[in-house]
Structures are given as C-alpha cells and as structure tokens.
Amino acid sequence: MEWGVSDLACRRGEALVLRGVSFRVPDGRAVAIRGPNGVGKTTLLRTLAGLAAPVAGSIDAPDEAFAYGAHADALKDQLTVAENLSFWAAIFGTGADAVSRAVQAFGLAPLLRRRAADLSAGQRRRTGLARMMLTGRPIWLLDEPTVSLDAENVARFADAVRAHLAEGGSAAIATHIDLGLDADPLNLGAFAAAAPTRADDPFAEAIE
C-alpha cells in the first residue's frame, strides 16, 4: 500500500527532535532512513508504529498497517525459538504457515528447538527479524535490522525484504550500511529540530 507522512513532528521524551518530516512511499518500495546518531531515527519509527503520538502532522496509514522491529528482538530467553515464533504468530493471528515461511526465509530450522537464551547475537537477530514476517502487516519498520548479522544473513534479510516488497508491501529501514536494496534514501538530518533544552529539568531526568 502507498503511504506517507506530512509535516510530522516527533519527540523523544520531552525533547522535540524532528519537525516538518514529509515523505511518501509508493507500493513495493522501501525507504532507507539515514542520519547521524541521535537525529531521531528510532523516534520516527516509534511514532510511525503508534508507540508515541506525533506532536504535529499526520501519518496517512492506519496503526494496524505497521509492524515494528526494534533494537530488542522481543524474544523470551526461557522459550525455544519455535515457541517464541508461534507465540507471535498467535498474537498476530497469522498461523502456522507464516511460521514455516519465516523459518525458511531466515534459515532457522536447525535452531527451532533451542532456547532463545542459548542463541548467539546473530541468531537472535534472525529470529527477531523472522517475527516481522509473522505480523502479516504491509509496512515494516526496522531499526538497524542488520546489527550482528554476517554477510550471508544480511543477504538473507535483503531477500526477505525484497520478497515482501514484491508482494506489494513496503518498508522503512533505519540503517548505516548498504543493504543492497533499491531503497529511496531519506536523510533525517534535514528535519532535525533545534537543540533541545532539558539539561536542567530534573523531572525529565527522573522519568527517563
């Protein structure tokens, strides 16, 4: 589905970090969100996902269209990979087919019966990314998805995103490296709000 945002302003905690963000993403396209640390890539993705309300502006896609893949992989250490994946499939109502497709796409079959606590960082990451396929949602929001992945698995991930785009989905990916995807760049530096003043706000510090 085609979607976009217009004149969006976002905040992280009490600090306004982005303002005037406008872009459109057509069907089957990905947008690569770039910018230096702290510019607000994660904040933008959380706002899009509906986890934070925008300060101003609008997002012309329903909350239910977005699937959010954060830094954390949303895996439970005590559960096996299979249990983790089928839990998320049940929550998103996508069923066993989606699980087997996700397992195939990320080569997780040998790890299915292993507890998430016993996975390496890269294996955890792959399982976390496989979760995106279980949401069945058209727009993937991914925050540094390739952290801890080796070259082979970056390629696997790029294939999964390409397959998703080919089905008419779309994606917004915050990343510092080139994924080999044909993505439209979006440099957030252009939308950075003025430096926030919150150094002397003890309340903001307490609720951080």
Partner 1 sequence: MIALVARDLRLAIRAGGGFGLGLGFFLIFVTLTALGVGPTEAVLAPLAPGALWLGALLACLLSLDRIFALDREDGSLDALLTAPLPPEAVAVSKALAHWITTGLPLTVAAPVLAPLLFLPPSALPWLIAALAVGTPALSAIGTFGAALTVGLRRGSLLLSLIVLPMYVPTLVFGADCVRRAAQGLDPTLPLVLTAALTLGAIALLPFATAAALRVNLR
Shortest spacing between CB 73 and partner 1, in angstroms: 6
**Which sign does the torsion angle of CA 148, 153, 154, 157 carry?**
negative
Shortest spacing between CB 185 and partner 1, in angstroms: 25
Nearer to partner 1, 194 or 207 (CB): 207
Shortest spacing between CB 135 and partner 1, in angstroms: 8
Helical spans, DSSP H, in the chain: 41-49, 81-92, 95-105, 121-135, 151-166, 202-207
Residue with the two structure tokens 């600090």? 15
Coil/strand/helix, residue 174: strand
Nearer to partner 1, 78 or 100 (CB): 78
- Residue 12's alpha-carbon distances to 103, 167, 176, in angstroms, are 34, 33, 21
Nearer to partner 1, 55 or 181 (CB): 55
Residues that bind partner 1 (CB under 8 A): 13, 46, 49-53, 63-64, 66-68, 70-79, 83, 87-88, 90-93, 128, 131, 135, 207-208
Nearest-CA neighbor of 160 among 133, 184, 128?
133
Single-letter amino acid code for the residue at 132: M
Nearer to partner 1, 14 or 159 (CB): 14
Shortest spacing between CB 111 and partner 1, in angstroms: 18
Shortest spacing between CB 168 and partner 1, in angstroms: 20
Which H or E run includes 143? strand 139-143
Nearer to partner 1, 79 or 192 (CB): 79
